[in-house]
Chain A
Amino acid sequence: MLRTESLAKTFTLHLRGGMQLAVLAGIDLEVQAGQCVVLSGPSGAGKSTLMRSLYGNYRAEAGRILVRHGDEMIDIARAEPRVVLAVRHATLGYVSQFLRVVPRVSTLDIVAEPLASRGIAVDAARAQAAALLLRLNIPRRLHGIPPATFSGGEQQRVNLARGFIAAHPILLLDEPTASLDAENSAVVVSMIAEAKACGTAIIAICHDAAVRDAIADRLFPLTPIREAA
């Protein structure tokens, strides 16, 4: 479903006199349908950078990121912006650590939006969104409120609901259970298991050993690059 070939990422900090910061080099990662690969390694090994590069959020300057989008393989690292957007829309989902949404929009509509944007009737999309939120223990009385005032854990669960609702064939999860208690972590673990059973390819970053063991089919170890210069 997703494969990288010799992927490399170096940041050039022009405001620091053009300092070069190599974070990723020679990454060859492959994930099959129904498989969950967890990126592992110490802080600064480039797990988040790899994740963001896979999503097209960071620009990979060398190597390829091949994603199965419908019947084609798209190279995210080289694709036109609108192609990347189409891939994100239909194929590639991303659940970041932090919720970043428009102010003033209700929680229910934030979660329903990925479905509504695919042309699903608003009522049906909202019904699905409500069910998913309830499963993640977000009570109905919060559905009508924008999530800006929610606790960290609540925001993360809203974010997860938004990420899972569209059933993307490939899902990127950045610390999906970091701010969750054991009960909610268990819900997320079961949701991941269900997604895998439906053939979703998942790439995750996960520091919680118990959760990692529960979801990972395979670990993909990353090590920090030693600065040459």
Chain B
Amino acid sequence: MSNTAALSDTFQKRIDAEEKIEPRDWMPDAYRKTLVRQISQHAHSEIVGQLPEGNWITRAPTLRRKAILLAKVQDEGGHGLYLYSAAETLGVSREELIDQLHSGKAKYSSIFNYPTLTWADIGAIGWLVDAAAILNQIPLCRCSYGPYARAMVRICKEESFHMRQGYELLMTLCRGSDEQKAMAQDAVNRWWWPALMMFGPSDADSTHSAQSMQWKIKRFSNDDLRQKFVDQSVPQAEYLGITLPDPDLKWNEESGHYDFGEIDWEEFFQVIAGNGPCNHERMSARIKAHEDGAWVREAALAYADKQRQRAEKAAA
């Protein structure tokens, strides 16, 4: 057996035994590349995900809601940082990762390219988008790459507040005036299908699935997770008195699951390709924030350098 084949064999055996791979371990290049792509894409999604919600911080209807939304958006920032930190253990620098996002080379979740038109959107995002994110993320807590798995444990612990605050927000609207209830319904109408798309293409069309399963980066298929999401959301919608915008949605006694309609994959691929309603706006806002903050980073470094020189002089 060649050296690489032996290393590769040890690597896969370790994964099969449910042992974690750690940063300095030997790993196939493709495993490293897949992880950098997935973890950074995940990090970018958290960071870009701050933008649609940040849009409503100054217009939250009460101080309570404002404090909650601020905390949630701050969490998304924190989650992005946990994940960048995990990606960096694979030998890629933060600057490279940020450049890839800003140049459009790296993707982020297509869901954040939809606009937040009303206050109810904040509720719909928490209830649907964060619920979908949780379903995607829980299996990642057992991912074969140690730093990614550990970051996900942290994230999942914090994520359930995000979903609950969204549901509570919608509950409040649904118990309010007719206009408030209509606003909640309208938000769910717009977010339901994009939320279903968050689980990615159907298994048959998913390019990375089989290899990621073998490497235990991925544990469940896109379609299985999507089904789980639909099954859990239907009773939650019923409780709110909200109608999910899918005429084909109905209980299937035989399968024990809800059947649902066909997803508009053309829309999904268009949004991923950069043609969603807010792709351009999101990237401009992100790049502007990064560039506007450049002087702060430079000043902090200059200050640290000055302090160090001063200390050296005093010691001499």
Tell whether A pairs with B. Answer: no
Residues of B that sit less than 8 Å from A by CB = none
